[in-house]
Amino acid sequence: MIKNLWEEALVEEVVYLIAHLAHAEQHLMEVEGETKLEDLVPYIDELRERRKKVGQLLFSILEVSEEGGGGEFRTKVESLWCTLKHLAMALVHCDESAEKVIRRMDCYIAQGEKQKAEELSKRLRELYELRQAIRGFITDLLFDISKKLKKVSSVRCREDLCIVEGDKDAVQRPERIPQET
């Protein structure tokens, strides 16, 4: 498949969509883990399902699929999906880290601490280089490496197994302690 500008732009947006859905899921899991608030579990599961559907859409657009999947061991394309999800989240974390470095740099400039600001500027360049490397790796994974893999019927990661998908062998979420009212 030859990538074109439309396809590349769409893929980049979908990668960010996957990352933000995964981050929302992660934040709700943190709240749920700290509070044991059972009401959050369906939202966490729904976000995970939506993220998986977005992944299936992306792989469909890129014509990446593979027979099998869903078994005890991850297929090559399932591993690609898992890698993509983590790289997408890393890309967003790079952006968030850069924003924090810029804010600190602005503080140093406002305080007249030019040398500290210049040092942070170097770190910021390193973050941007890392961001570009991650972005390039995502592009290579999706447009080049994925074509060398066999074709997946499902898109999931190991932790996605905690959602019962009609499989009698699927792992279920642990029981939660009911909230005191």
Look at 56-60, 64-68, 128-132, 134-138 and tell me which has the smallest mean pLDDT. 64-68
Domain parsing of the chain, residue ranges: 5-162
**Cα dihedral 158/26/22/102 (nearest 10):** -130
Q: How many helices (H) and strands (E) does the chain have?
A: 4, 0
pLDDT at residue number 3: 65
Distance separating alpha carbons of residues 71 and 174, to the nearest angstrom: 21
Structure token digits, residue 140: 């290579």
pLDDT at residue number 9: 87
Mean pLDDT score of the chain, rounded to an integer? 81
pTM of this prediction?
0.70
Structure token digits, residue 117: 């600001």
Q: What is the share, in percent, of the chain residues with pLDDT greater than 90? A: 50
Distance separating alpha carbons of residues 152 and 64, to the nearest angstrom: 7
